[in-house]
Amino acid sequence: MQVTEIDPPQGAEPILWRLLTTHLVEDAAMAWRMVDWYRMRWTIEQFFRTLKQQGLQLEDSQLETAERLVKLTAIAARAACVVMQLVQARDGRSAQHAAIAFTHAEIDTLQALLPTLEGKTALQKNPHAPQSLAWAAWIIAKLGGWDGYPKSKAPGPITFRHGLQHFLSIAHGWALRNDESPRWLQERGIHEAWPVAGLPGTIHVDNGADFRSHAFERACRDNGIKIDWRPPGTPHFGGHIERLIGTQMGAVHLLPGLTSSSIEEGASMMPNAMRH
């Protein structure tokens, strides 16, 4: 098939496509269908760009089996599709509802976040219809680092990816906040208030091999968590942690059934009935 642009813009070279296809093209309708499919190429390229090196970094995964990689790809593909939906809806022309990409609880979270992201002037306000996909895209882009001004460059897949990752962490914490008695706490017999939710901003760790691994660093990076390693040769930096562990182990040693760290010590602590 050959497709030629008839009336190109002044000074522009006309588009000329020569398309090879395995489909049987017997009429003009089928020919235009092939052209429409080819026109989707840019969207597909953007999808893979978001999925791989300039977005979700799927190729950096350290999974070793094909089965696990397929599962990760399925999860990443869903996230990449949401990013692409936000990119396509950012100008507001589609008039799509935010519910096609977000749950009702997530939309409530977006609504709660909006006042913290808008400025005082009209140019700093979200210009889109409330709860539309464009409205949600504006909020996610702001969370991803976009300044929100109409004359600024439109946010792209990478900005939306960063914003979406930040938002999902907030939405998770918001869901826990609104749940007065989370199932996780109920299952453990905890009925008191638990005012902790979301992901930590920074994790302070020592220089053990597990905390220096690529997997640990990547997991923290993907979740927006900063790693603060203890300076080498400064064991006093971990004094409060060591004290906490010591206090906990001291309490454990008072529990019935203690076996200690060796057979000899454990045997001396066991009741006579249990020794026989």
Mean pLDDT in order along the chain per 10 residues (276 residues): 89 91 92 90 83 74 79 85 91 90 90 92 91 95 90 88 89 71 68 70 87 86 86 78 78 69 59 48
User: Do 222 and 248 sit in the same domain of this protein?
Assistant: no
User: Do 111 and 170 sit in the same domain of this protein?
Assistant: yes
pTM for this prediction: 0.56
Q: Please check whether residue 74 lies inside any domain of the structure.
A: yes
User: Given this model, what pLDDT does residue 76 score?
Assistant: 84
User: Given this model, what pLDDT does residue 60 score?
Assistant: 76
Q: Please check whether residue 262 lies inside any domain of the structure.
A: yes
Angle between helix 157-178 and 133-143 (nearest 10) = 100
User: Do 203 and 141 sit in the same domain of this protein?
Assistant: no
Q: Give the Cβ contact number of residue 185 at 10 Å.
A: 16
Total structural domains within the chain: 3
Amino acid at 18: R
Q: Please check whether residue 78 lies inside any domain of the structure.
A: yes
3-state secondary structure at position 219: helix
User: Given this model, what pLDDT does residue 259 score?
Assistant: 64
User: Do 166 and 219 sit in the same domain of this protein?
Assistant: no
User: Do 217 and 258 sit in the same domain of this protein?
Assistant: no
Distance CA 63, CA 72 (A): 9
User: Do 149 and 216 sit in the same domain of this protein?
Assistant: no
CB 135, CB 169: distance < 8 Å: no
User: Do 171 and 250 sit in the same domain of this protein?
Assistant: no
Q: How many residues does the chain have?
A: 276
Structure tokens of 140? 């996610």
The domain in which residue 260 lies consists of 241-275
User: Do 96 and 170 sit in the same domain of this protein?
Assistant: yes
CB 19, CB 1: distance < 8 Å: yes
User: Do 71 and 174 sit in the same domain of this protein?
Assistant: yes
User: Do 107 and 143 sit in the same domain of this protein?
Assistant: yes
Angle between helix 104-117 and 133-143 (nearest 10) = 60
User: Do 173 and 153 sit in the same domain of this protein?
Assistant: yes
